[in-house]
Amino acid sequence: MHKLVSFLILATSPAWSADTKTHVDDLRRLQLVSPQNLVIIDVRPPSDFAKGHIQGSRNIPVKNLAAARLPLDSKIIVYCGEDSCPLGEQAAKSLISVGHRDVQTLVVGRSS
């Protein structure tokens, strides 16, 4: 199985920011420490999600995010599976625009 992730880019305010990078180990720690408040969203098509995804993630394509009705107080991590995929950032911006404050975009690739 391919290693899906290596670092996170965080955005925790209404203005999108990609200044803070966090190693993937922090994602696992979040899954262990606060699983009830953590929502991991895979925005890829269902067929790609079915081929492999991060344990505990939910498949919600970008076009379906508005209908998902995610709790505003959740810590949300969005990913789409590859560095060149703009869907993760698009989804994060969309979630922030409707009031979510703790949104992170998971970027797949090698950390530097």
Task: List pLDDT tens digits, range 27-43.
Answer: 777 787 777 789 999 99
Q: pLDDT grade, residue 83 (50/70/90)?
A: low
SS (H, E, C) 73-107: CCEEEEECCCCCCCHHHHHHHHHHHCCCCCEEEEE
Q: What pLDDT sits at residue 52?
A: 92
Q: Are strands 20-23 and 38-42 parallel, antiparallel or unpaired?
A: unpaired
- The proportion of the chain whose per-residue pLDDT surpasses 70, expressed as a percent, equals 70
Q: Is 41 exposed, middle or buried (0-12, 13-18, 19+ CB in 10 A)?
A: buried
Mean per-residue pLDDT over the chain, rounded = 74
Tell me if the pTM is above 0.85. Answer: no
35-to-1, 90, 111 alpha-carbon distances in Å: 24, 24, 25
Q: How many angstroms separate the CA atoms of 44 and 23, rounded?
A: 22
- Residues 62-74 have a mean pLDDT of 88
Q: What is the rounded distance in angstroms from the CA atom of residue 112 to the CA atom of residue 99?
A: 32
